Chains A and B, each alone.
Chain A
């Protein structure tokens, strides 16, 4: 009898303990919700709602005047994403990324390696190299519009002086995308430079010194120490630059408006044209959803690589 009583008491206290623990967890969850509420509200208003709305809009086909729309389900997604027009714009975007990302990365790396030298006055160069970060897309575009101007631009002046044919940079279908890419590379250079320079500064100096004593020259050190140690940073830059390329709009709108002959009609510009010029909300929405998944994939890749970064630390 006494034993049973004890056991009963014991289980009563333990169930009480379970209950208080459950209460504590509930309170914690509520508290977390309160703390998260402002960001949930913001994200809902400016990210989740528009996202869902875009999905939804993709199910409706607009009439030629952009007025009343009829529900067509996934038909429009299939039409738009299977269309030549979309494929061409995807191809243009891919080409744009191919023009801007590797070159931008190599230039950023080169400048960062130069600026990483311990030389007098290096701070001035660092400031100059990072300055494009503080330049808006609009200002940069106007500047390059002038530089690339076929008759008064300094670039063509240089070409003429050195005996080359002048080029109609933004008007020639062959040259428009390279010209826009050039502007974009310049625009992103500050960012790439800063990120890579920061990456360089995290490499312990002793690794270089150890390599020196072990007989490695500058080139060997670059390939055996600097680049491997920098690889997480480089991957990060590649992903960010690629996402940037897929989201570029400002410089294209200001320099070429997607022309000539659609040669610079990248996805975002195409979305813009469909939605705000042709009032084809549904088509724009379908393309927007496609872009969302492309960028999402790139972001997931980036997260995967960032996770692997832990592996380099000690």
Chain B
């Protein structure tokens, strides 16, 4: 869908740095804390994804950057300027809304033209820019239609065209894929990534879908309850989640987290969990011991558990088949369970079997049960 462009970028693209920074930003709506003490630096030309569950404040954070909300306290910086007092219309950014917010009374062409008209770009130049954006997003045959005459995917592309046509410093997107069907979403995901590469602009992208975040982001900022939990590249957020929230929010099915007790097992350390004892690798034991508490939360992802007669005994409750993989839910104790992920071709136990589980030692995560923070 996205056409390849020539190497040379038109003049309008040589823009100043579009680094974005939130410094101690808070946003309250009455008693509701939507954004809590945000400190976030978004690098120039980065694809940053704000990821979190519904109601965690992602949209609010994005709207603060756009200038659609005023922070209760703190500073918002775009480029080198504090923009707290700069109106949305002067921030030189584009935003794609979840509903696309197309003007229903205007044709596709006029919709795309709005950001150019408001900036008083001459008609000739406007027509060229519109033609270019339309070519890019394959909208040429649709230019004279109205939004009501378009499919969801086409509307989404109009919204994207309207955003890129003006060549802003940064793009803000609020769940732009959530109204598309699964197939189109996968396709558009890839297009957005190549769009980001070609435009070489800062993207801030809001989603509650961890798959979108993992596949598109250069960095992910995980948010919960208005507060930043962890910021980092997708792989490191996955491999070293900063707390149990991040650990369980990223990854599907979510990471197994159970209570355990740190014990000395001869020379080495181990953790007693319901069902048995998990030996800790030499790299982890001393760090855990240094946390100077015996009770810990142990996290192991479903893909890092296997049925090989390991030390943790469990009883198989359910085997779910998803076609390409299977999820085996095992009871460790009357009120604790673990999910094991198996490839479709791996042998799965039967319901009711008693099995021995092994946790891959290099993939064991330890968390402080009080703060839920990572200790290792």
Contacts and interface: CB of A to CB of B under 8 A. Distances in A.
Interface string B217-251: 00000000000000000000000000000000000
B105 A229 contact: yes
Interface in A212-253: 212-217, 220, 224-225, 228-229, 231
Which label, helix, strand, loop or mixed, suits the secondary structure of the A interface?
helix
Contacts of B95: 209-210, 213
B88 A224 contact: no
A216 B66 contact: no
B99 A214 contact: no
Contacts of A210: 95, 97, 101
B153 to A, nearest CB: 15
Task: Identify the interface centre among A212, A213, A217: most chain B CB within 10 Å of its CB.
Answer: A213
Given A204-B101, A206-B101, A313-B104, A212 B115 contact: no
A216 B118 contact: yes
A213 B103 contact: no
B114 interface: yes
Interface in B78-98: 87-91, 93-95, 97
Nearest to A225: B103
Contacts of B114: 211, 214, 216, 224
Contacts of B104: 229, 312-314
Given A215-B118, A314-B148, A204 B99 contact: yes
Contacts of A214: 89, 94, 114-115, 118, 162, 166
A215 B119 contact: yes
B89 A212 contact: yes
Contacts of B91: 213
Contacts of B87: 212
Interface in A290-310: none
Interface in B38-82: 63, 66-68
Given A213-B93, A215-B115, A224-B103, A313 B148 contact: yes
B147 interface: yes
Contacts of A220: 118
Interface in A162-221: 204, 206-207, 209-217, 220
A132 to B, nearest CB: 31
A65 interface: no
A275 to B, nearest CB: 47
Given A220-B118, A313-B148, A314-B148, A212 B88 contact: yes
A206 B99 contact: yes
A46 interface: no
Contacts of A229: 104-105
Contacts of B90: 215
A209 B68 CA distance: 7
Contacts of A212: 67-68, 87-89
Contacts, number: 72
A313 B146 CA distance: 11
Interface in B163-196: 166, 172
A301 to B, nearest CB: 20
A279 to B, nearest CB: 54
Interface in B134-170: 146-148, 162, 166
B105 A213 contact: no
B89 A216 contact: yes
Task: Identify the interface centre among A204, A209, A225: most chain B CB within 10 Å of its CB.
Answer: A209
A133 to B, nearest CB: 29
A213 B66 CA distance: 7
B118 A207 contact: no
A216 B115 CA distance: 8
A213 B88 contact: yes
A215 B89 contact: yes
Nearest to A210: B101
Given A228-B105, A311-B148, A314-B104, A213 B94 contact: yes
A204 B147 CA distance: 15
Nearest to B120: A215
A312 B95 CA distance: 23
Nearest to A213: B95
Contacts of A225: 103
A135 B115 CA distance: 46
Contacts of B63: 209
18 contacts: A206-B97, A206-B99, A207-B101, A209-B66, A212-B68, A212-B88, A213-B68, A213-B91, A214-B89, A214-B94, A214-B118, A215-B118, A216-B89, A217-B118, A220-B118, A228-B106, A229-B105, A314-B104
Interface of A: 204, 206-207, 209-217, 220, 224-225, 228-229, 231, 311-314
Interface of B: 63, 66-68, 87-91, 93-95, 97, 99, 101, 103-106, 114-115, 118-119, 146-148, 162, 166, 172
4 closest A-B pairs by CB: A215-B118, A210-B101, A214-B115, A206-B101
Given A209-B66, A213-B67, A312-B105, 6 more contacts: A206-B97, A206-B101, A212-B68, A212-B89, A214-B94, A217-B89
